[in-house]
Amino acid sequence: MRIDVVTLFPEMVDIPLSDSIVGRARKEGRLKLGFANPRDFSEDRRGTVDDKPYGGGTGMVMMAEPVYKALKRVKKKGSHVIVLTPKGGKLDQKTALELATHKHLVLICGHYEGIDERINRFADLELSIGDYVLTGGEPAAVVIIDAVTRLLPGVLKKEDATINETFAEGLLEAPHYTRPGVWRRMKVPEVLLSGNHKLISEWRFSAAKDLTAKRRPDLIRKAKLEEV
């Protein structure tokens, strides 16, 4: 997969994604990450990319033309273009799985008070990572790229690593334990030491449901609605 990021601050995305699993995926060629800086397409010597908003208000807005030209530089036939904005639909595991099916993603990062709204006409999707405001779209781009990359074939060495994890079936993942069996007087559940894979599977499903009902009842309600 190739992912190009339209951003004023490429290093905010590049550096965090240079280590660990995503960094390894890049080195192995499973993920190709590129950048296009709207400042390189500014129409003046100062590299101006923002201006005051029409109608007044605080802050500055990224101008459409430099962003459009940066997008045009990296976009090609079949590209899936995403504008990162707190006004977009919320990222979830289902969305990450869908994005992982594309061969080329383009992520457009806003900054300041955002991007001229007219840029959205050239996007396939507006996406948010949560109900809060960041200083720019770059941290969101890192989250999305990480979530998508780990789903690509061969990135995780165990083929079933993404099957039984949190949100894979609409539930939080069951608790995990490792050695020692007793730590500070706290014991690992006996069923996990039994070697009975059927009982362990049943326990994990039950524990996942209980944990989800306690911490994220909204996911339980959503699952029941989808069953109707």
pLDDT in tens, 18-62: 999 999 999 999 999 999 999 999 989 899 999 999 999 889 999
Query: What angle (nearest 5°) sits at the alpha carbon of residue 137, between those of residues 14 and 5?
Result: 45
Question: CA–CA separation, 189 vs 196, rounded Å?
Answer: 13
In this structure, are residues 19 and 146 in contact, taking their beta carbons and an 8 Å threshold? no
**pLDDT digit string, tens, across residues 160-173:** 556 555 555 689 99
pLDDT at 162: 62
- Of 67, 161, 70, 75, nearest in space to 110 by CA: 67
Q: Which band of pLDDT confidence, cut at 50, 70 and 90, is reported for residue 159?
A: low
**Average pLDDT across the chain, whole number:** 93
pLDDT at 28: 97
pLDDT at 228: 43
pLDDT at 227: 60
Q: How far apart are the first and last CA of the chain?
A: 36
Mean pLDDT for the stretch of residues 56-85? 96
Mean pLDDT for the stretch of residues 111-133? 96
pLDDT at 224 over 70: no
For the ranges 36-40, 96-100, 113-117, 159-163, the lowest mean pLDDT is seen at: 159-163
Whether the upstream peptide bond of residue 16 has omega within 30° of 0, thus cis, is no
Question: CA–CA separation, 26 vs 7, rounded Å?
Answer: 19
Q: Which band of pLDDT confidence, cut at 50, 70 and 90, is reported for residue 141?
A: very high
Helices (H), the chain: 11-14, 20-27, 64-74, 93-99, 138-149, 197-215, 217-227
**What's the predicted TM-score (pTM) here?**
0.87
- Of 119, 107, 56, 100, nearest in space to 81 by CA: 107
Residue % of the chain over a pLDDT of 70: 93
pLDDT at 157: 84
pLDDT at 163: 57
Give every CB contact of residue 152 below 8 A, 6+ residues apart in sequence: 1, 25, 30, 31, 100
pLDDT at 220: 84
Q: Which band of pLDDT confidence, cut at 50, 70 and 90, is reported for residue 226?
A: low
